[in-house]
Amino acid sequence: MIKKIGLLTGGGDCPGLNAALRAVVKSSMGMGSEVIGFKDGYKGLVQNNYMHFQPGDVSGILDRGGTILGTSNRDNPFHFKVELEGQTEYRDMSGRVKENLQMHDISCIVLIGGDGTLTSGRDFARMGLKVVGIPKTIDNDLSGTDYTFGFMTAVNTATDAIDKLHTTAESHHRVMILEVMGRYAGWIALESGIAGGADVILIPEIPYDIGKVALNVIARKNAGKNFSIIVVAEGAKQAGGDMVVCKVIKDSPDPVRLGGIGNRIAEELEQLTGIENRVTVLGHLQRGGRPSPFDRILATRYGVAASEMVERGEFGRMVCMQGGEITSIPLEDAVGKLKTVPPDGEIVSIAKSLGVGFGD
């Protein structure tokens, strides 16, 4: 009897999604299963918008950014937005999801997503649905796995930006501030900052003192280095202060949009140092483009592992990497707790040994 497997990509896009779904489709078909993809994340699952994957559908997508299935980070099936007679309501549509899966005779579903997508996956597992999760996010903040795919490509993008900023900073004797994504975790800022040779790295896990940041810049100038590179995570905050919020999206499951910390730091640093500052905000450049070889391989490993878990009947779990090996953990243990940078961990200590300032 041919198994029918459901598949969707949820949450924000990131490089490697196509590589992961390609791996799920090809390996599942190789084991005799049929794969039905739901479009635009949970929205497609609720509205029964789907496609039957054929082998040719995943040809030539390994190196493509984005996701051919589409995605959404606003459609929580347990709190789903519906319009009725001009009025907006939010309803629990998990029952509809279960009906749609039964309609297609789908025996299990593979969910590729971050904390929000996989939290709903955990809740579906509690309802008795057969679920396997695959972790993705450029923020690398999912607990239970060493790496999420998408992260290394974002680090590569940020590092390339730092490399370019070095030459113009040195030419004009300026302070160049690069604001990167990461939300409440500083992984992108930390690793790209080290790789790019940043002088100061500001992350959410280590609240900064702007006076100490200014001292780093002045010390470099006094040493004959007339420029500085500062990498700041969007969620960084001053000691005793709050994160800088760009806007609030009311109908989003995670309504807070961070942004603007780079400009705030630039304004304060110019007042304290008298040195000209320039700010670059990478924004969604970090989400787009071709995945790095690392992310293509990791996403492929995760996709094949998820298909093998389906074949073995291992449900209610998320594929993960631990100590370089692919394994899995219960969805219950995979969500609800962010993996943040340890302030006294090895990577921060290495950066400090190299003279990198954290404003603390």
pLDDT at 332: 95
pLDDT value at 1 more than 80: no
Amino acid at 121: G
DSSP-derived secondary structure for 322-335 = ETTEEEEEEHHHHS
| H helix or E strand, kind and range, residue 6 | strand 4-9
By annotation, the residues acting in catalysis are 139
Q: How far apart are the first and last CA of the chain?
A: 61
pLDDT at 259: 84
d(CA 63, CA 310): 25
**Are 38 and 101 in the same domain?**
yes
SS3 45: helix
**Are 181 and 197 in the same domain?**
yes
Phi then psi for residue 123, to 5 deg, are: -65, -35
**Are 122 and 92 in the same domain?**
yes
d(CA 17, CA 230): 30
Q: Which residue has the tokens 């297609």?
A: 104
The CATH number that applies at residue 85 is 3.40.50.450
The CATH number that applies at residue 264 is 3.40.50.460
> With contact defined as beta carbons under 8 Å apart, do 162 and 193 qualify?
yes
Label residue 337 left, alpha or beta by phi (over 0 means left) and psi (-120 to 50 means alpha).
Answer: beta
Average pLDDT of the residues in 311-336: 96
SS3 321: strand
pLDDT value at 84 more than 90: no
Sign of CA dihedral 283, 285, 291, 293: negative
Instruction: Note the pLDDT tens digit of each residue in 221-264.
Output: 999 999 999 999 999 999 998 888 877 777 666 777 788 999 99
**Are 193 and 279 in the same domain?**
yes
**Are 102 and 228 in the same domain?**
no
